[in-house]
């Protein structure tokens, strides 16, 4: 079983969505990433090398970008976006793939542990990067 943690950027991405959309995304994350996050499926794929994340999870029309640390069994969600056609939106703004995104609130991540919902996410002291890159 893998622990699931969110960077501050991913939390801000999630906060942008409506509560119902957040619940769909969080349910998809828990269902698909809890036990075998590194298995390629119809909704999970490994990305080409990039500075955002190594993996992409498709949850309906939403995309979750994440990394896996196999040694300590942690899935780190790096970004959550909305995909419409070939366009990817983060916090309501369209971004071209490969473009650098700057966020002011980069700091620490949060952990989503066994059966906890977004309202009960507790903070941890894991540092995160000040910038986010989209996959090419």
pTM above 0.75, yes or no: no
CATH superfamily, domain at 3-130: RelE-like (3.30.2310.20)
Helices (H) and strands (E) in the chain, counts: 2, 11
The pLDDT tens digits of the residues spanning 73-87 come to 999 999 999 999 988
* DSSP conformational letter for 85: T
Tokens of residue 79, six digits: 């970004």
> 9 with 103: CB under 8 angstroms?
yes
Give the DSSP per-residue string, 33-83: HSS-TTS--SSEEEPPS-SS-SEEEEETTEEEEEEEETTTTEEEEEEEEEE
pLDDT at residue 86, as a whole number: 87
């Amino acid at each position: 079983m893998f622990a699931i943690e969110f960077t501050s950027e991913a939390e801000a991405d999630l906060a942008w969505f409506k509560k119902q959309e957040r619940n769909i995304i969080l349910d998809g994350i828990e269902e698909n990433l809890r036990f075998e996050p590194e298995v390629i499926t119809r909704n999970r794929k490994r990305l080409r090398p990039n500075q955002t994340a190594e993996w992409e999870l498709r949850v309906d029309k939403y995309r979750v970008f994440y990394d896996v640390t196999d040694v300590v069994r942690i899935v780190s969600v790096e970004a959550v976006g909305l995909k419409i056609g070939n366009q990817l939106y983060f916090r309501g703004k369209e971004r071209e793939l490969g473009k650098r995104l700057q966020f002011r609130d980069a700091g620490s991540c949060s952990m989503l542990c066994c059966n906890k919902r977004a309202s009960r996410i507790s903070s941890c002291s894991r540092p995160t990067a000040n910038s986010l890159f989209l996959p090419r």
